[in-house]
Amino acid sequence: MIPHKWLRQQPIWWCGGIMVMMAVLIYGCRPGTAGPKAGGVDKGSPGRQPIVRSTSSAGPAVPVAPATPKAKAASEVSCCCCLGKDASPPTALKGNVPIPEGAPISYREGASEGRDFENDGIDRRQPVFGFNTEGYKYYEENDFTAVTSHPLSTFSIDVDTASYANVRRFLLQERRLPPVDAVRIEECLNYFHYDYPAPAEALPLLPTMELASCPWNPGHDLLLIGLQAKPVATDQLPPGNFVFLIDSSGSMADDLPLVKQALGLLVDQLRSCDRVAVVTYAGSAGLVLSSTPGDCHKIIKDKIDALQSGGATAGAQGIELAYQIAAKYFIPGGNNRVILITDGDFNVGVGSEGELVRMIEAKRAQNIFLTVLGTGRGNYQDGKMQMLADKGNGNYAYLDSIREAQKVLVGEMAGNLFTVAKDVKIQLEFNPRFVKGYRLIGYEKRKLADRDFADDAKDAGEVGAGHQVTVLYELIPASSEEEVPAAAPLEFQKTTVVSDKLINFKLRWKTPEDRNSTEWIGYCTAEKASPPSANFRFAAAVAEFGLLLRNSPLKGRADWNQVIQLAQDARGTDRNGYRAEFIKLAETARLLDPRHSGDKLITESRGNIVGK
């Protein structure tokens, strides 16, 4: 107790503050009122307080009493004293109105940097019971460009696959359409394997091209460009110097078991010539395991299995320590890499994002690369993790299940953890004789200025051993009457070039150790494939899937039935079942999309999807 005499001697503001704190401790620390950071972001605890719609087709009207300021304050209190306490089941709303059994749960908008979600009649909102701070970077979709005013298209490649796995999480686990900005079509395309020819021994990459009609816009053409990287057998990979950087903060409480299982799969693949260190970060960063030979599987897995979650997220401090360890045990000519596993929710660390980026870029120049594995939900910071992987010359994947961990860390281990070509750039020159306008589907964040193509100082994307890159351009034929916005006609630039080439194609890359680039030049004719290959048809289905999920204004006649039919016809052998799973996702999205079903709203009613 605070002595009464001492209390009277204190300034009035001091006493007021103490009384407020005591009120919070007495009335706020009750089961079920813990905030989202109580042991991590609340992702499913019984302590959530959902808001129930006042009317619903699932049941009679639910009267919601207006909450008084006092009642509202009491119901929204969150304090650190509730950490570790068992929360009681939700029996009251804000304003102490009971939740009727079977009542549907309302949704609110999720976080998306730069804009709200599209007002397209689709319920993409986050459920209120899942305190949601997920962040996705806004980007403007590529539009058509007139060949007469801008014949060159230049961009950096990308082999990340995180967006597709995250979209799958929304559709199958959360049973709703993903936020618009969570859908990056290039990452959906690159999730799948295609039948591309392998490069010759001397080349790390080989392109292939195919032209056919565009399924969602019959008046347009679709150009497919596929890149196949040279495969390298796991036992032929150079020695690896890996640092596992594991986010063990409170927000990872629900995800740490999956992280342990995933890393266990990777550890089982390591050899005696590899080395592994383990660094964790929560309120501060720490070295859990010094650099250890990779074949000491039990020692490494025991250290990982002993990890527990708790505390804030000193992500930048952890990255700095991980790079120090990687530099200390650097293997010349080896695969030196930090592998970061996190939900991206950094809230303690360096003073600015710029400092973190500059440190990662400096280590990249020393051939220490960064691979990012995302996990989690509710507080998932997609934009931040994509930026870290891009700056660190590494890949970015999302782990929504142990099956995805098997794909990323075992089946595609060589591609995701060993780079065969870096700073890979593509430049196309379109022939106005055949093409009036073009647009690159996806890769919005990878576009480069035309002059950057030949600039070896300009950073670009990386390709791992055996990786594939798939690119699609939608083309407006020169014979089309469709108007394409263009600059005013230029008098002195008129030339007459007679060529049967549709495009000139340039590919530029560096080997991991080189500072100078190699350039490959080729072309594609205007002859259309008839019928198009299975590669083309399945890639077109995936692109159309992305256009529909984004409700793109450029989706033309895109339709879920056509997506499903294209994918079914091009399924092929599908050894791992990924294409069959894609068809399942498309069927699920068709059911959730009110534009197809005629529903106006999708809600969740105690585990059942219902329309209203």
Would you say residue 73 has pLDDT above 50?
no
Mean per-residue pLDDT over the chain, rounded: 80
232-235 contact pairs (CB < 8 A, 24+): 232/414, 232/418, 232/420, 232/465, 232/466, 233/414, 234/269, 234/413, 234/414, 235/271
pLDDT class of 283 with cuts at 50, 70, 90: low
SS3 percent helix, strand, coil of the chain, rounded to 5, is 30, 20, 45
Mean pLDDT computed over 168-174: 96
Give CA–CA dist 273/296, Å, rounded.
11
Winning range, highest mean pLDDT, from 73-87, 130-144, 558-572: 558-572
244 contacts 304 by C-beta, under 8 angstroms? yes
pLDDT of residue 83: 34
pLDDT at 468: 96
115 or 381: which leads in pLDDT: 381
Cis bond upstream, residue 531 (ω within 30) = yes
**Six token digits for residue 88:** 């009681």
Q: Map out the domains of the chain with their CATH numbers.
A: 145-151+193-232+420-484+497-579 (2.60.40.1230), 238-417 (3.40.50.410)
Secondary structure (3-state) at 48: coil
Mean pLDDT lowest for which of 84-93, 345-354, 451-460, 509-518?
84-93
Give the HSE-up count for residue 574: Cα atoms under 13 Å, Cβ half-sphere: 15
Structure tokens at 600: 């106006």
The pLDDT score that the predictor gives to residue 251 is 84
Percent of the chain whose predicted confidence (pLDDT) is above 90: 58
Nearest CA to 262 among 409, 415, 416, 414?
409
Mean pLDDT of 445-470: 95
Predicted confidence band of residue 522 (pLDDT cuts 50, 70, 90): very high
2 pLDDT higher than 60: no
3-state secondary structure of 303: helix
pLDDT score at 116: 39
**Tokens matching residue 137:** 């970077």
Q: What is the pLDDT of residue 316?
A: 76
Is the pLDDT at 207 greater than 80, yes or no?
yes
CB 328 within 8 A of CB 336: no
Residue range 343-360: mean pLDDT, rounded: 72
Q: Taking residues 503-517, what's their average pLDDT?
A: 92
506: how many CB neighbours lie within 10 A of its CB? Answer: 20
If pLDDT is split at 50, 70 and 90, which confidence band does 131 have? low
Asked if the model's pLDDT at residue 38 lies above 90, the reply is no
Q: What is the Cα–Cα distance from 410 to 393, expressed in whole angstroms?
A: 20
- β-strand 419-430 against 152-156: which pairing, if any? antiparallel
Q: Which secondary structure element, helix H or strand E, spans residue 22, and what is its range?
A: helix 12-23
Contact predicate 562/543, CB 8 Å: no
DSSP 306-352: T----S---HHHHHHHHHHHHHHT--TTSEEEEEEEE-----SS-S-
Q: Exposed, middle or buried, 410 (CB in 10 Å: 0-12/13-18/19+)?
A: middle
213 against 345, higher pLDDT: 213
Question: Mean pLDDT, to the nearest integer, of 19-38?
Answer: 47
pLDDT at 347 over 90: no
pLDDT (average), residues 523-541: 96
| 423 has pLDDT over 90 | yes
The half-sphere exposure of 602 on its side-chain side, counting CA atoms within 13 A, is: 27
3-class DSSP assignment, residue 459: coil
Q: What pLDDT is attached to residue 430?
A: 97
Helix (H, G, I), strand (E, B) or coil at 211: strand
Cα–Cα dist 537/457, whole Å: 37
**What mean pLDDT do residues 9-25 have?**
54
Residue 95: which region, alpha, beta or left (left: phi > 0; alpha: psi -120 to 50)? left
Average pLDDT rounded to a whole number, residues 438-467? 95
Which of the four pLDDT bands, split at 50, 70 and 90, describes residue 307?
Answer: very high
pLDDT bracket for residue 122 (50, 70, 90) = low
DSSP state of 526: S
pLDDT in tens, 543-581: 999 999 999 999 999 999 999 999 999 999 999 999 999
Rounded CA-CA distance 184/165 in Å is 11
Give yes or no for a contact between 394 and 363, defined as CB atoms under 8 angstroms apart: no
| Partners of 249 in beta bridges | none
Residue of 502, 508, 498 whose CA lies nearest to 524: 502
What is the CA angle 371-374-379, rounded to 5? 140
Of 570, 536, 566, 571, the C-alpha closest to 548 is 566
4 pLDDT more than 90: no
pLDDT of res. 515: 86
For the record, the structure tokens of 268 come out as 């089982």
Mean of the pLDDT values across residues 154-166?
95
**Residue given tokens 């699932």 in the structure block:** 58
| Average pLDDT, integer, range 428-441 | 97
Q: Given this model, what pLDDT does residue 309 score? A: 85
Provide the whole-model pTM.
0.78
Confidence of residue 14 (pLDDT cuts 50, 70, 90): low
**Residue 593: CA atoms inside 13 Å, Cβ hemisphere, count?**
20
Q: Is the pLDDT of residue 516 over 60?
A: yes
Above 80 in pLDDT, residue 111? Answer: no
Q: What is the pLDDT of residues 391-410, one digit of tens each?
A: 998 899 999 999 999 999 99
Close Cβ partners of 241 (under 8 Å, ≥ 6 residues apart): 274, 275, 291, 326, 329, 330, 331, 334, 335, 336, 337
Which residues, 6+ apart, have CB-to-CB distance to 412 below 8 Å?
464, 466, 467
* 3 state SS for 357-409: HHHHHHHHHCCCEEEEEECCCCCCEHHHHHHHHHHCCCCEEECCCHHHHHHHH
Share of the chain above pLDDT 70, in %: 73
CA distances from 572 to 430, 568, 575, 581 (A): 32, 8, 9, 13
